[in-house]
Structure 1
């Protein structure tokens, strides 16, 4: 028992001394360790500066995009007050079409922008821009029908139906640039002798429609 007590009394000072040495080593900064700390600090500082530069660049880019978006919105020509679109159809059967007579699409079901004039069966462009038009014509059985899209009095595209014992429907369309005030209509062409009848039947078979694709 005395021997064990002596050993314990010997070990305790040794442990205390060892702990004190370890604490001294932990709190003591050598020149090498100090240099490493300075290098790490410099790396962190450079990284922070690089991030700050990137953040500044991103902010400048974002501000530029914001200004561009605002300018685009201010210059946008696609607001609802420029909407132009119409649809009209034949409201009765036509048995005799006159030479070069505009086809009478007199029943108007849509006329956004009021650019279509049913009295003269023609469309007048309210703006400079690109427009698209479609027409479907139905002829009586045994008759064929020839017509043309007319732009300011000049033909730009043709439509022609067949002429067997059934009524026939022909459809054509075009995309065209028009200036404000230009007129477009569908006109009976006299190139075919018996091209003078439009079939009505149950209706909605002979139609004319168009709309503004893009304003200049």
Structure 2
């Protein structure tokens, strides 16, 4: 009798989770798509752990600020950094000497540290020495980096196209990953938008 009861409860729970599966699908309002030279990278944003940072990134995306912005610092086996909208736009105002030092016209953000871990595919906000200095720059992890845990704000994770991130042109290790003639984010959009 207990086996039949267990089987019935299991069937009910399985049915519930299968019915709920569509609700667990990616939220287009919090899905960022970056078009690279080889195709699209899909990032699930995490407003649940970094609401202010995610909101600012989404605003910059919707303003078109990230289009044509360089991956100016790319360290093999570590991460690819981009998002300097002031000095990193390769179609206008690109400054190879200053890229990586700029942000946007929006204010810097307070840190939103979480218990999440910096593993392959995680997207974090770049910042200066002050933990509350993130603005527009972000990085995508190639590999785990536990020393970043609790030190940088995580805003999302790659859920599609990580192999394209792996193909981003790497920088010179001796120059802290600075990239000559860097790859760029050709176009960045939020999936919910019809552009």
TM-score with structure 2 setting the length: 0.30
Structure possessing the higher relative contact order (Cα contacts under 8 Å, 6 or more residues apart):
2
Q: State the structure with more CA Rg.
A: 1
Structure whose residues are more often strand by fraction: 1
Structure whose residues are more often helix by fraction: 1
